[in-house]
Structure 1
Amino acid sequence: MMTHTDPQSDWGLPGWTYDNDRFFREEQDRIFRPSWQIVCHLNDIPKAGDFHTLDYIGESVVVVRGKDGGVRAFTNVCRHRGARLLDGPAGHCGKGGGRIVCPYHAWTYDLEGRLIGVPMRETYPALEMDKQGLVKVEVEVWRGFVFVRLEGDGPSVAEMMAPYEHEVAHYRFEDLQPFGRVTLRPRTVNWKNISDNYSDGLHIPVAHPGLTRLFGKGYGVEAAPWVDKMWGQLIDEPSNNPSERIYQGILPDVPHLPADRKRLWTYFKLWPNF
């Protein structure tokens, strides 16, 4: 007797894929190195010399605003002895913001990543300074958000978000201004757990009863090839819960949003983990 396995009958990925070191190394090489990761918004680095860093999968990347107003990304590592160049999640590099100076031996780079200064230069007779600039990392600015990609030639962020561009356009993301300091709270959770959770609308009535009261049964989930969309329309009936009723009342009107989006709560989850 021949049996056929229904590919739609499985609950999800095998459990071992969430807690296996070898599999995670493969994911880092095949998923995260070729994927886009968000670093900051352009308005987080408004002046020449402002920078933001991102550390992930054993790499440190720095995004720097140039004197020409452009944004560049480099590995946050000196070409001399591999010292970390810029510390902290964000800041301003060098006096006047015009240089990146290594804290180990003071090798100096300009904001375009060129090596422009080496103490005791005469002791490095074989050094070709024009070949020892910072290692560039691919960068893309999409609607004001700055993304980096370590390697690969897959689709751009704009191409990935294209199915929802007509919705996103209403929100004027380019005009966003930083409201306060971002605090990172690392958790020892496999990245797929987060993705599974955000693409799962079935847990909302159980784990988030407040959301269910605010949005009724109108919470939706759909998936495009590179991005998932989740949404809920806020209902007008006042909630019996005091904090939810206050939320319904103080949610501000946003004049530039169309009427059908003024009370709409929307997530977009970009592959693989943003």
Structure 2
Amino acid sequence: MATRAGEFVDNAPRIAELDFSAMRMRVPTDRYHSAEFAARERALLWMRSWQFVGRADDIPQAGDWMEYRLFDQSFVLVRGRDGRIRGFVNACRHRGNAFCEGKGRSARFTCPYHNWSYGLDGKLLAVARPDFTGTLEEFVGDKDQLGLIEVPADIFAGFLFLNPDRAAAPLGETLGEAAELLAPYRLEEMVPCGLNVREGLKCNWKVIMDAFQEGYHVQGIHPELVPAMDESQERYRFLGDHSVATAPFGAANMAHSGLDIQIAAIRNLPATFPGVADALPRFDALVERYRGADGTLPADASPRDLLQRAMRETLVARGLDVGGLTDNQISDNQFWILFPNFFMTIHAGEATVIVAQPHTSGDPNRCFWHVMNLQWFPPEERAARRAELLEIAEGDHFPYFLALEQDFAQMERQQRGLRNQAQASLTLTRQEVRLAHFHAAIESWAYRA
């Protein structure tokens, strides 16, 4: 590992340095609409993998719980009196009744059917016996064997994860190097702010994941971002099934864009990355300080340099420890995929998380996404800034910021094309190398023994 974790990504290979010889650059289109392939994914991927459920501060107090649904499966996560978060199958051990729905707080779980009750640790506490006078053991047998069925649950960087597979490897082992690389951002200190929405889309879940693993579509879908991004400088790391890429902000078309265009592009960043807004007053002050009489900036004070300095100074003044972050991590987004369905774009003090989940109906042409903007605030401000999850009713639509609205429309349009039977496969370009890596991982799970 480098001196600072971020240097591992700062110095990662560019496209020209990658070995494409073993990469499959075609993806069968039936992976996006085939009921048979969706069934393989359900059994071999979703029921065996760690997946995002929410934030740890969604259930902050002892007794707080939340339900997680995956297809027709239901689980409940609860914070115990010992502070530990546990996951359980949402079914009473008596007759299988689901005892939780949505979110709430309880001192114990009581099944509404026959009033069997369980502790926050899942142990069976009591059963109703209106017409019975014998011992509990005579009534139900060994009650120690009748606690709720526990499934693995864990926290990483303030995110809640659950795995339906009771024999799964620990989350930390699954994340590997990703955990160390993300630690300096202090994600556990961030809170959802302004955007915390779950909504249904008419596309396969992998269409969402594909869309956020390449910048090739920026020129066509997000033209307003072109001046602020330099896709030719993207760097890539592959970490098992996970991956990370980064591209410089404020460096696009440096040889061709004038100073005012570069500055304007940075000032427009808050439309997509709200956290940058706090640093703009300092950025403007630095531009004025270093701008010469001829209107130019010195070579060692480019707009990009000044943005990094302004953001670092602003975040430190507010109390965020950014000492473990490189200058590139201050201004530039790293684009993370935590396999299978967690995307995050992150720079100092801010992250946007997009999680794609298969639809509860099992229809491969439908899915959900959960979009969340996370920002760092001083501890005393977090409760007031925190945005609760907003569930969008089917048929309604949430008005996202421009870039996400553009992606939303494109993804549903793409699904319509993917269902055409005459087109058997997708053809990837070298700039979509992460898609090739991602789909190779999908295939390895879907066809494992």
| TM-score, scaled relative to structure 1 | 0.83
Gap change, CA 1:174 and 1:154, over 3 Å in 2 = same
The answer to whether the aligner puts 1:92 opposite 2:105 as a matched pair is yes
3-state secondary structure, aligned to 1:174: helix
Q: Deviations over 1:87-139 (max 9, x none)?
A: 11x2212xxxx211122222211100011121126548441222211110111
Partner of 2:334: 266
Q: Take 2:191 and 2:206, find their aligned partners in 1: how far apart are those partners? A: 30
Residues 263 and 68 of structure 1, relative CA distance in 2, 3 Å threshold: same
AA aligned to 2:26 is G
Identify the residue that residue 112 of structure 1 maps to in structure 2.
121
Describe the superposition over 1:5-50 as per-residue Cα deviations: whole angstroms up to 9, x where unpaired: x875x64321122211122111111111110011122222111001
Determine the C-alpha separation between the residues in 1 that align with 2:195 and 2:62.
20
Is 1:238 matched up with 2:306? no
C-alpha RMSD of matched pairs (Å)? 2.8
* Preserved CA contact (<8 Å) 2:88 2:151: yes
Q: In structure 2, the residue corresponding to 1:186 is in which secondary structure?
A: strand
Deviations 1:191-238 (A, max 9, x none): 222222222232222222223222233454543222121333321722
Q: How far off is 1:184 after superposition?
A: 1.4
Q: Quick check: 1:221–1:231 contact (8 Å CA) kept in 2? A: yes
Aligned residue runs from structure 1 range 108-187, under 5 A: 108-120=117-129, 123=132, 125-128=138-141, 129-151=143-165, 153=167, 155-179=169-193, 182-187=196-201
Q: CA deviation at 1:153?
A: 4.6
Relative to structure 1, is the Cα distance of residues 265 and 150 closer, same or farther in structure 2, using a 3 angstrom cutoff?
same
The one-letter amino acid of 2:239's match is A
Alpha carbons 1:42, 1:144 under 8 Å: kept: yes
Native 8 Å contact 1:78 1:85 kept in 2? yes
Relative distance call for 1:127 and 1:214 in structure 2 (3 A) is: same
Contact 2:88–2:148 (Cα < 8 Å) also in 1: yes
How far residue 179 of structure 1 moved from its aligned partner, in angstroms, is 4.2
For the 8 Å contact 2:150–2:166, the answer to whether it is kept is no
- What are the ranges of 5 or more consecutive residues in structure 1 without an aligned counterpart? 1-5
- Cα distance in 2 for partners of 1:192, 1:178 equals 24
- The answer to whether 1:224 aligns with 2:239 is yes
| C-alpha spacing 1:116/1:240, structure 2 compared with 1 (3 Å) | closer
What is the distance in 2 between the residues matched to 1:164 and 1:147? 15
* C-alpha distance in structure 2 between counterparts of 1:122 and 1:181, whole Å: 53
- Unpaired runs of 5+ residues, structure 2, are 1-20, 252-261, 280-310, 343-449
Residues 34 and 76 of structure 1, relative CA distance in 2, 3 Å threshold? same
Higher mean alpha-carbon deviation, 214-223 vs 131-140, is at 214-223
Aligned-partner Cα distance in 1 for 2:26–2:147:
46
1:206 to 220, 226, 243: 220
**Count of residue correspondences:** 263
**Conservation of the 8 A alpha-carbon contact between 2:250 and 2:265:** no
Residues 1:116 and 1:156: Cα distance change in structure 2 (over 3 Å) = closer
Confirm or deny that 1:46 pairs with 2:73.
Answer: no
* Matched AA of 1:176: M
Task: Report the Cα distance in structure 2 between the residues aligned to 1:168 and 1:241, rounded to whole angstroms.
Answer: 25
d(CA) in 2 for partners of 1:13, 1:43: 39
Partner of 2:277: 250
Q: 1:103 aligns with which of 112, 137, 161?
A: 112
**Greater share of helix:** 2
Q: Please list the CA deviations of residues 53-94 of structure 1 after superposition, one character each: whole Å capped at 9, or x if unmatched.
A: 210132111110000111111011122222221111x2212x
CA distance, structure 1, for counterparts of residue 178 and residue 243 of structure 2: 10
> Taking structure 1 as reference, are residues 240 and 203 closer, same or farther at Cα in structure 2, changes over 3 Å only?
closer
The two structures have a TM-score, normalised by structure 2, of 0.53
Alpha-carbon distance in structure 2 between the residues aligned to 1:242 and 1:83: 55
Choose 136-145 or 176-185, whichever is displaced more: 176-185
Partner in structure 2 of residue 17 of structure 1: 31
CA 1:241–1:167 in structure 2 vs 1: closer, same or farther (change >3 Å)? closer
Any conservation in 2 of the 1:73–1:138 contact (CA below 8 Å)?
A: yes
Query: Who wins on radius of gyration, i.e. which is larger?
Result: 2
Secondary structure in structure 2 of the residue aligned to 1:238: helix
The answer as to whether partners of 1:221 and 1:230 remain within 8 angstroms in 2 is yes
Kept in 1, the 8 Å contact 2:152–2:168? The answer is no
Determine helix, strand or coil for the equivalent of 1:210.
helix
In 2 relative to 1, CA 209–178 (structure 1 residues): closer, same or farther, beyond 3 Å?
Answer: closer
> Aligned with 1:113: secondary structure?
coil
The CA distance in 2 between the partners of 1:154 and 1:108, in whole Å, is 28
